[in-house]
């Protein structure tokens, strides 16, 4: 039985999805989040979001780069 991919990273630029990845373990997804910021953060209009899938199947954002509250 496959492990469900509960955590998702999404890289967008100008509102368009450039890349996505999913992992079953939060720590792995969090490491990838940091890595993606270093690798893709200089892309014009880049936005990187770490989301968790909830029990009802929807996705809720846990972290977003750049910090949209700043």
The residue extents of the domains of the chain are 7-55
**Distance between CA atoms of residues 55 and 22, nearest Å:** 16
Residue 37 sits at the vertex; the CA angle it makes with 31 and 41, to the nearest 5 degrees, is 170
Residue 11 has a pLDDT of: 98
Say if pTM beats, i.e. exceeds, 0.85.
yes
Sign for the pseudo-dihedral over CA of 50, 2, 16, 41: positive
Residue 1 has a pLDDT of: 47
**Distance between CA atoms of residues 54 and 52, nearest Å:** 6
Q: How many residues does the chain have?
A: 70
Residue 27 has a pLDDT of: 97
Residue 2 has a pLDDT of: 53
Q: Which residues of the chain have pLDDT under 70?
A: 1-3, 69-70
Burial of 52 (0-12, 13-18, 19+ CB in 10 A): middle
């Amino acid at each position: 039985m496959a492990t469900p991919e509960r955590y998702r990273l999404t890289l967008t630029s100008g509102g368009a999805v450039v890349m996505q990845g999913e992992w079953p373990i939060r720590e792995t997804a969090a490491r990838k989040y940091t890595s993606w910021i270093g690798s893709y953060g200089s892309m014009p209009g880049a936005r990187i979001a770490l989301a968790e899938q909830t029990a009802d199947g929807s996705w809720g954002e846990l972290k977003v780069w750049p910090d949209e509250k700043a």
